[in-house]
Each structure stands twice: as C-alpha cells, then as structure tokens.
Amino acid sequence: MFILARLFYIQVVWGKELQSRAIDQWTRELPLVARRGVITDRNGVVLASNYQTYSVFIRGRSVTDANDVAKTLSSILDVDYDQLYSKIINTNNSVLTVKKQVGSQDIERLRQYNLQGVYYSPDYARTYPYGKSLSQVLGYTSYDGMGLTGIEKVYDEYLKGYDGEILYEADLVGKDIEGKNARYVPATNGLNVKLTIDYEIQSICDAVIEKAYNEYTPKSASVLVMNPQNGQILAMTQYPCYDLNELPRDDVKLLNKLGRCSLVVDSYEPGSTFKILTAAANIEEYLKGNPNAFSNDYVFNSSRYRYVDGKKIKCWSNHDNGKHSNENLAMALNNSCNPCFVDIALALGKEKMYEYIKAFGYGQCTGVDFQGEAIGMLLPESAVKNGDLARISFGQTIAVTPIQLACATASAVNGGKYFSPYFVSEISDEYGKVAEVIKEKFVRRVISEEASKILASYLEGVVENGSGKQAYIEGYKIGGKTGTAQKYENGVISQGKYVMSFIGFFPSNNPEYLALVIVDEPVGGQYGSTVAAPLVKEIFQGIINCKNIGKYC
C-alpha cells in the first residue's frame, strides 16, 4: 500500500516538477533576441530603429577542439584567445556568450569553418537616423539593448519585447543528440512608441540653436517648443550634445554630462520671464475685486528704486532717460520694470502670491513622462520675508526648471488651463495595431479665461513695442517676455555672467506654439532681448514657413 501511494505521488503530484527537471537536463537553449520597438515622431518619422546583427555562443560540451575554436573566434571576432580558451575548457555553463552585435560579414566567415559547438543567432543593434537630434530626449541603450536614459529608459518596458529561444535536445553530458530537431520558441518584439515631437519643427530648432551655440559660444543653448493648448512637446534641442550612434561610452563622465536633459532636470533663476506670473496674479485678483490688486489704469511710482526691509531694490535699467513715468501694468511688462512687480507682490502679500506660485506649478514636478525631473527651488512660505517676496516677483530668490516655466507660461496665455507636458502620445505593435493612446492631462485652472486674454494681449505688446521687439514678425500676433538672469558663484553674484532667455507664443489670441530659448553665458550678448528673442523669431518664422501659416492669424 505504501509503495502504491509513493508511486501515485511520484507520477501525479511530483510529476510536473520531475518533468520540468528532465526537460532542463535534456535540453540546451540559445536565446532569440526580441527586436526593440521603433521610436517615431508624431508623423511617423523614424527617430530610433534597429539593424540586424548576431550573437555568437559556445556550448562547451559540444566543442571537439577547444584550441581550434578559440583560435578561430579570437581571429575573426577580435576577442582574447587565452580568456576564451580558458572559459571553453572550464565552463560549467551550458551556453557561453562570446560576443554580441557581430556583423553579418564576420558571421559569413565563421560559417566557412563549421566549428563544432559554436552557434549564432540574430540580434539587433540600435541606430538613430538623425544622430545628434534629440540626443538628450531619446537617450540610449546598453549593449544588451536595455534603455539607460531618456525615452529609451522611461518606456523600456514597452520597447524591449521578450526574448525567445531555440531548444536543442542534449544527452546527460550536454552534447547534442544527433537526428533530433530543435524546438523554436519565437521572440515577442517590442512595441513602437510615437512621440508628440514634430521633426519638422525639431529640425528648425536644431539648426537655430546650433548656429547660436557657434556664434555666442555659451556654456549651453537650448530650446523647448510645446503646444500650450495640451502640453504636447513638439521639439527640444540642447547644445552641446552628442551623436547617439557614436556614444563616448569609455568616458562615463562626459557621457553623463552631454546626456543630461537640462530642460527637465536642471534649475535656474528665471529672471524677468517670471514676471508673467506676477502680472497674471495681479490681473486675476483685480478681476475678482481684490482691493490690493492694481488696474491697468493705475500708474506706478516712477522711482527706479524700492526700499524693502531697509534694502534697496532697483530696476535693471535706467530706461526712458532715467524716468519711469506714467507706467501702467502693460508698460511695466514692456519695459520689464522691476519696481512695479515688487509693488504688486507686496500689495497682494506672500499668502496670495504663494497660492499662484503653487497653482502655476512651481516647487513641484510637472508630471512630464521623463526621468529625473527636478522641482526647482522654492523657499518655504513660512520663511519668506518681504525682501524675499520682492525679489521673487521679478524672478530672483527662486529657481525653476525650464519645463516648469514653459508649462506655467502656457497656462497663463492659453485660457488659464494647466496641462502636464508629455513626450509620448501612442504605443502600437509592429503591425500598427494601437495598444495605448496617451491623452492630454488637464491638471487645474490657474486663472480665468478673461485674465488670460488680457495678459496675452499685454505680452503681445511686449513684442510689438517693448523689450521683446526682436521677436516681432510683421503680420503675426506674437507675444512674449524677455529674461536676463544673474548667476551666482559661492553665494554671491558673478559679475558679467548671465542666463539670457525669451519665452514667446503665437498666435497670441489663441496660441498654438510656445517656445522657450535659454542661452547660458553667451559671449558678446547683453540681454535676453538681444540674444534669445531673435532666436525665437527664427524658430517661429521657420514654423510659419513649414506649416504654411498665413498672416494675421
């Protein structure tokens, strides 16, 4: 009875486990590498693809002449003979990987030798048709095809697929059993990823920023273009960059530096571009009936200075022959007059100002589908003094990420709606069947539609008549704001070192395109109005041309 019970247990209960062990002992497998998914722009332009290569393996127990195998492989594949020979004769692994991403010519040479115990199977290497373009955005993969940075990393689970295998029946010592057919378990190829990027616009930005980088020789130059109506990122260029097909893998420090997507992961003092928020807060509060807010008819104190907590805060420039006379809010934006914005912030108070700062997304992540996003630097509200608030009003004593600034400005001029920015719009399989559609993400309303329209019209005036006039294109409604931010070293202002920027949008009455250009320490440039604004003009002119956008839009 005991024997029957034991037999039943072995055959039925334990049977599956024993069968699994037997299969593992009697078979040897070779991997079949899945093809990584393709990355395209919104119109199907391929930005990241693959080309076929091969992986070469050795099954040590099937090798009949270890010396010959090691000698031949070292010669053809440029691998170390001694190390390979040692691994062949001493390996306890059923399969030894010799080299991956071997070219087809080398495989043809190997075939001629018909080496026993040597096998090869197809794999793939990543290729980027446009080299430097979007290098920090797309990112790159490891030699094994795993996403390490950028979109390649964020969407690796979709892109990578699942490897298959070829199973060979082997005897107890691991040698192939002659006459037995191999069993084929196919790989599941990765899914394709479609970006919101428009390569036509991307190529325009690449050309403009490369030209600016060569002309001004700054530490860096970058641009972000987005659709302010939904948060879709249309282009992102950053110099210096690198060719994704020629990665400096041997210099990890350089690779990490060049691969850093500063528009998402780095923070800086925005300077006068931040005045958009202060103006938006004032307009919205005035419309709500807040007695502390200023109407556009209000004429600000004409002094170039404000004294806050006993310290002098001055304007950036002695414009209008030294007189700040008859300035209302629209003119204060035109002239980028610091004292006027100090008045607004102090009148509204830190509690109200912080409501808007947080509503516009500062001090927090935007939610962009990218790794390593920074949150900037925002002083705790409880620690803010009047002097801090005064400087925050015109973009000092606060650090933001470029993508935060772009999203905040977009929500200020698009009718008052804050959207999370995003890079990827669609996931599909290799046959074109859509697996997932990623839609816009509305987060919150920051100001009313009326306040947004008023602000956009003021910012249009900045381009027509004010500091942003070098972004003006005749016949087109373009709005924007300049920024020239001081830099600090060891806690003190670094003389002569500035971050110059301009954020623009068009058409200003219903914006479809928003561009933020940042140039860090340009040589020979003085202000955001003279360095960055003309670059935005070039980009917008390129968009107008390639999209055939008519005048008076």
- Paired tokens of 335: 């002239």
| Amino acid sitting at position 260 | R
Q: Which residues pair with 491 in a beta bridge?
A: none
CA distance 247 to 253: 12
CA distance 245 to 467: 41
Helical axes 402-413 vs 275-287, angle rounded to 10° = 30
C-beta atoms surrounding 77 within 10 Å: 17
C-beta atoms surrounding 474 within 10 Å: 5
CA distance 396 to 84: 61
Contact of 397 with 357, CB cutoff 8 Å: no
Q: Which of 37, 42, 23, 32 is nearest to 547 (CA)?
A: 42
CA distance 459 to 409: 11
Contact of 408 with 362, CB cutoff 8 Å: yes
| C-alpha separations of 384 from 168, 378, 381, 480 in Å | 71, 10, 5, 29
Torsions phi, psi for 240 (to 5 deg): -75, 160
Contact of 539 with 208, CB cutoff 8 Å: yes
- Paired tokens of 398: 């606060």
| C-alpha separations of 469 from 146, 409, 484, 513 in Å | 47, 19, 15, 18
State the greatest distance between any 2 C-alpha atoms of the chain, in Å, as a whole number. 112
Q: Which residues does 281 contact at the CB level (< 8 Å), separation at least 6?
A: 344, 348, 352, 353, 356, 447
Contact of 342 with 306, CB cutoff 8 Å: yes
Q: Which residues does 537 contact at the CB level (< 8 Å), separation at least 6?
A: 470, 471, 472, 473, 504
Helical axes 449-465 vs 275-287, angle rounded to 10° = 140
CA distance 30 to 16: 23
Q: Which residues does 490 contact at the CB level (< 8 Å), separation at least 6?
A: none
Q: Which of 90, 384, 405 is nearest to 262 (CA)?
A: 405
Select which of 94, 135, 222, 272 is catalytic: 272
Q: Which residues does 218 contact at the CB level (< 8 Å), separation at least 6?
A: 212, 519, 520, 521, 522, 523
Specify whether 272 is catalytic.
yes
Q: Is the N-terminal amide bond of 228 cis, ω within 30° of 0?
A: no
Q: Which residues does 340 contact at the CB level (< 8 Å), separation at least 6?
A: 300, 327, 329, 332
Q: Is the N-terminal amide bond of 507 cis, ω within 30° of 0?
A: yes
C-beta atoms surrounding 537 within 10 Å: 24
Positions marked catalytic? 272
